[in-house]
Structure 1
Amino acid sequence: MDLLHYYISFAAIFLVVPIESANILAITFVPSVSHQEVYQPIWRELSLRGHNVTVMTTNVLADPSLVNLTQIDVSFVYKYMNVPLKSFRDATILQNIFFIDFFFSKLLQAEIAHEDVQKLLQRDDDEFDLVVLEALHPLVYGFAAKFKAPVVAISTLEPFIPFHDALGNPTHPVLRPDNFIHFYGEPTLKDRMTSFLHNIFYRAIYYWRLLPEADKVARKFFGRNIPYLGDVIGNTSLMLINSNPILNTPVANVPSVISFGNVHIKEAKPLPKDIQKFLDASSRGVVYFSLGSNVKSTSLGTEMRDIITQALSELPFNVIWKWEEDELPGKPDNVLLKKWLPQQDILRHPNVKVFVTQGGLQSIEQSIAFGVPMVGIPIYGDQPTNVKTLVDGGMALFIDFKSITKDELKKAILEVGTNIKYRERVVKARELIQDQPMNGLDKAVWWIEHVIRHKGARHLRSPAADMPIFQYFMVDVIAILLFGLYLSVKLTKLIIRWTVRGLTIGFEVFKKFLNNKLLASKQKAS
């Protein structure tokens, strides 16, 4: 028996595959369920692969089997999320830039000051092999400055212009407009000029004001001797962007920018009995109405609430509405209200005809995954661009949040819910998204481990990342060429002037000569 154990142990040495585990720190700071639904599968998979993952998160994964996952719960910042929708509807682009910067800075400062995060910052500077950061504000890079490890930036939406700049990734004003710029249909000359000027002025605002202010705050929390935040951001090894070729315009990315998507699609779970009964009994179809996890339907305001309520009451469909309070004044009989809903499992139900959505990327991905066409009511951020893409692809209709009417909303829902062409386009989009060599989760994890294996990704870095802005846009070349053209024009004008003057003088001299000859001839003849 002992001999048998010996042989089994000896054989096991050759059968066991060695796993090189790494210590990974992940910092996600935006209190948004939709954001965290994208990140959580990544932390889970890294943990299951044997890595020791420490994550600061606003949504803790309740899975005791993940023994390698340490979570720092900062969910208390959800209390800051009650932002009036009117502030987005009426704000200018400049106001939105400063508001988003102030809001994200406020969130991060509150989270960094949290007791458990302060304990994290007491750990050794070289404790982590990799830092993964939610790339939506420069202050978050203070963690990279503190722990001096290779950085992977990650985002559930298209990052702002400066984070592309850090990797030398092109941000064409028309092909890849910033999140603050939205084109409704084919961009007009005014749209293109607005986006072009925005690219210039936003960079000026960011590099001359927002980044220096974030650096000052970072020194308060991470130490006065940390490198300048701009330099830390510029050393980013890799950026992972949650995107796909259907919802995002195909654009050129440098090798260190990787797109992944659909990591948050979950396996089916049984619906609550009352929702299941409501769906099953809705033989004429169901409209699912939800403005996502960040926007509360209860914050719509009385006027807009009444418009939506009246439109829904006149539909031939039943409606499931994510409504965050116990009561809805004037609630129609065909509407079922719930404060929170298992969205993916509702969208799976065959009786769901239409998804009325704010146009968040995760909600759209889920709707496409389950073949449900949409009516989009975008409010802020990337939502208008997302819905515009859906409309261009024939998968949705667009409702302007600023000018919504009862009849417009009713008409849009009826059109999408009864015209089969919208569902057919969504199903085709699903086929294209799923036809990939590897799923989004495996792709994201593979690239994270790639950075760990090579202690960074300098080999993927574009030379554009290390160029000054004036060199990247060839301002010096253009200036020299323009100056040369200016000199050429001036010299040509000078030569022409001298030539004309010379010819004029020569003509006058010749004319005087002829006159003198003529005068001399007359005098001789007389």
Structure 2
Amino acid sequence: MYFHLLFFAILLDCGIGAKILGIFPAPSLSHQRIFQPIWKELSLRGHKVTVITTDVLNDPSLNNLTEIDVRSGYEVAHKLHIIPILASKKLPLIIIWNFFHIFQQVIGSELKHEAVEALIRNDTEHFDVILIQLSHLYPLLYGFGAKFSSPFVGISSMDLYLHAHDAVGNPTHPLVAPDIMLNLHGKLGFFDKISSVLHNILYRILYYWYALPMADKVARKHFGENIPYLGDVEKNMSLILTTVNPIIHPIRPNVPNMIEINQIHIREKKPLPKDLQDYLDSAPEGVVYFSLGSNVKSANISSEIRNIIIEALSELPYKVLWKWETDYLPNQPYNVLTRKWIPQQDVLGHPNIKVFITQGGLQSIEEAICNEVPMVGLPYITDQPYNVRKLEEFGIAIGLNPGTMTKDQFKRAILEVAGNKKYKERVREAKAILTDQPMKGVEKAVWWIEYVIRHKGAKHLRSPAADLSFFEYFLVDVALFFVFCALLLTYVVVKMIRWCRCRSKKGLTKEKAN
């Protein structure tokens, strides 16, 4: 009874029926699964939620939820070859540059959706808070914050890029916490330090002098010419929810409105389909589970890598369950079972799973740790190489380069992780650290979103660093002043020395004359 009274008291405090708009445009199911529990829980709490997303829930029990389906974003992203671009070995800034241009087009196409256009044209619409995806380079989305003049909360399904930290004045020391795209961590070498410092500078030049102005021009076509500059809108972000965790990400000093959440998508186990349950139960020797996630996809890897993987899997003393997205796997070994879709959390919870072969996505890693399953990492894109290296450091995985690995290397890695007890022991330690927290990820995220609603923003949590320019924050003006003073002092000292020498020479000349 007390719980119900407390629940309704919280609703009354927030304002029953608070209107919330969520914009999650990334055509990636793995990212959307992070946000879905949040908008579902907000709806269940009595808020009126409108969501623009590429992956709708279609849950008829959620009476307060309106979902605008912009799945056309998948088609645009596929045509622009987003995954090959992210998987390329080019410099991180070039990948980010290409990524920005791709998502300008993806989001631009989603803004042309009939229901989205109708929402933007509605001048009487109001929202108490707007939730905006920050996972990648999406400054065009700030147009919604400009249009509706509402407090907004940034939510990321991975670690943040530098500009998101800047928006709330969060420290971004290039040596303590290098950008995730650099795949740097631990004690950095001298040239790694130079690389990280240059990246911090060049990234900001790219973002503030190119990406933001370009996004602002596009935003005015969709949201009208009267909106404020997107860079100014970005600075009004109330707080950021970011799905980092202490196993993968560096410990860093965060400002009060930078809220770390994790395990937000972890749910209670559900019964497995009968065929999968029987397959796993019939393998007391153990099962290797293999999935490269929803973005990379096993069916899209090259035939050379596929053949190496198949040969290695065929020689294992274990059964293999492989998420393979087509009807036919060439040269499928007798010990391999494929499925187009697999309930991953439920499979990882089966006691016979010995190893999880993963691409190193953050959500897959958390699922494996929560189920105490050690891993073999085959990273491809964005933060995956960094994540896998951190897993290796913690002792719960072996990482391989899928482009250069051999059959024997792949096979040895699987056998080592499956047969060596230290990996199982370390993953149990990782679970103890990861899950030991006072509040679940969804509860924490929703509490802070309602906090912003209650206080009509969170300006009292705002760091003064967020209002400093790049030159002020990094003391460029002060450094230039000291350089000027040093040059001036050097000039004065040189002049004094020359004057003293001239006086000395004149004195010697007079003595000789005398």
Q: TM-score band (shorter)?
A: over 0.9
Conservation of the 8 A alpha-carbon contact between 1:84 and 1:299: no
Q: CA 1:121–1:92 in 2, change beyond 3 Å: closer, same or farther? A: same
SS at match of 1:180: helix
User: Which residue does the alignment assign to 1:133?
Assistant: 132
The residue matched to 1:423 in structure 2 has which SS? helix
**Aligned pairs for 1:85-104 within 5 A:** 86-87=84-85, 88-104=87-103
Aligned to 1:385: 386
Structure 2 residue aligned with 1:114: 113
Q: From the superposition, tell whether residues 480 and 84 of structure 1 become closer, same or farther in structure 2 (CA, over 3 Å).
A: closer
Partner of 2:406 in structure 1? 405
**Map of 1:200 onto structure 2:** 201
Matching residue of 1:329: 330
- Aligned position for 2:68: 72
Tell me which amino acid in the other structure corresponds to 1:221: H
Task: Give the number of equivalent residue pairs.
Answer: 502
**1:376·1:399 contact (CA, 8 Å) conserved in 2?**
yes
Q: 1:214, 1:68 → 2: CA distance?
A: 32
TM-aligned CA deviation for residue 509 of structure 1: 2.2
Partner of 1:165: 166
SS state at 2:355 partner: strand
Q: Which amino acid aligns with 1:99?
A: N
> CA distance change for structure 1 residues 13 and 288 in 2, over 3 Å: closer, same or farther?
closer
Are the equivalent residues in 2 in contact too, given 1:125–1:146 (CA < 8 A)?
Answer: no
User: Cα distance 1:142–1:32, how it changes in 2: closer, same or farther (>3 A)?
Assistant: same
- CA 1:289/1:16 → structure 2, altered by over 3 Å: closer, same or farther? closer
Residue 442 of structure 1: SS of its match in structure 2?
Answer: helix
Residue 46 of structure 2 is aligned to residue 50 of structure 1: yes
Q: 1:23 to 1:209 in 2, by over 3 A?
A: same
1:13, 1:404 → 2: CA distance?
A: 59
Q: Report if aligned partners of 2:111, 2:117 keep a CA contact under 8 Å in 1.
A: yes
- TM-superposed CA distance for 1:85, in Å, is 5.4
| Change in 2 beyond 3 A, CA 1:15/1:66 | closer
Q: In 2, Cα distance between the equivalents of 1:394 and 1:16?
A: 46
Deviation at 1:184, TM superposition (A): 7.0
CA distance in 1, matches of 2:175, 2:289: 34
Q: Which has the larger radius of gyration?
A: 1
- Determine the C-alpha separation between the residues in 2 that align with 1:339 and 1:466: 49
Shift of 1:13: 11
Task: Work out whether residues 81 and 294 of structure 1, in 8 Å CA contact, stay in contact via their aligned partners in 2.
Answer: no
Q: Secondary structure at the match of 2:51?
A: strand
- Cα distance, 1:215 vs structure 2: 0.8
Q: Would you say 1:283 and 2:279 are equivalent positions? A: no
Equivalent residues of 2:212, 2:231 under 8 A apart: yes
The separation in 2 between residues aligned to 1:249 and 1:492, in whole angstroms, is: 47
Root-mean-square deviation (Å): 1.9
* 1:14-413 aligned within 5 A: 17=9, 19=12, 20-21=15-16, 22-82=18-78, 83=81, 86-87=84-85, 88-135=87-134, 136=136, 137-183=138-184, 186-413=187-414
Q: How far apart are the structure 1 equivalents of 2:509 and 2:411?
A: 87
Whole-angstrom distance in 2 between the partners of 1:184 and 1:284: 37
Change (3 A) 1:443 1:184: closer
Equivalents in 1 of 2:191, 2:62: separation in Å? 52
Q: Which deviates more from structure 2 when the two are superposed, residues 353-362 or residues 76-85?
A: 76-85
Taking a change above 3 Å as real, the CA distance of residues 209 and 345 of structure 1, as seen in their structure-2 partners, is: same
Q: How far off is 1:15 after superposition? A: 11
The aligned residue for residue 499 of structure 1 is 500
Answer whether contact 1:85 1:300 (CA < 8 A) is retained. no
Cα deviation for residue 56 of structure 1 reads 0.8
Paired residues of 1:26 and 1:55 also in contact (CA < 8 A):
yes
1:420 maps to which residue? 421
Larger mean CA deviation between 425-434 and 119-128 belongs to 119-128
SS in 2 for 1:61: coil
CA distance in 2, matches of 1:48, 1:355: 34
Cα distance in 1 between the residues matched to 2:30 and 2:265: 9
CA shift, 1:122, in A, is 2.7
Q: Deviations over 1:300-349 (max 9, x none)?
A: 11111111111111211111111111111111111111111100001001
Structure 2 counterparts to residues 475-494 of structure 1, below 5 A: 475-494=476-495
Distance in 2 between residues matched to 1:84 and 1:485, nearest whole Å: 50
Between 1:220-229 and 1:76-85, the stretch displaced more is: 76-85
Deviation at residue 406 of structure 1 after TM alignment: 1.5
C-alpha distance in 1 between matches for 2:313 and 2:348? 18
Q: TM-score, normalised by structure 1?
A: 0.92
* Percent identity between the two aligned chains: 51
Equivalent residues of 1:298, 1:325 under 8 A apart: yes
Letter in 2 for 1:109: G
Q: Quick one: structure 1 residues 76 and 15, their matched pair in 2 at CA, closer, same or farther if it must change by over 3 Å?
A: closer
In structure 2, do the counterparts of structure 1 residues 65 and 77 end up closer, same or farther at CA, with 3 Å as the change threshold? same
Distance 1:199 1:14 in 2: 46
Residues 92-118 of structure 1 show CA distances to partners (whole Å, capped at 9, x for unaligned) of: 323311221022112211111111211
SS of residue in 2 equivalent to 1:154:
strand
- What's the CA shift string for 1:66-99, capped at 9, x where partnerless? 1111111112322344437554233332331122
Q: 1:95 to 1:444 in 2, by over 3 A?
A: same
Which structure 2 residue ranges, 5 or more long, are not aligned?
none
The one-letter code sitting in structure 2 at the alignment partner of 1:382 is D
Q: Tell me if the contact between 2:169 and 2:466 (Cα under 8 Å) persists in the aligned partners.
A: yes
Contact 2:305-2:402 at 8 Å conserved across structures: no
Query: Which residue of structure 2 lines up, in the alignment, with residue 523 of structure 1?
Result: none
- SS of the equivalent of 1:353 reads strand
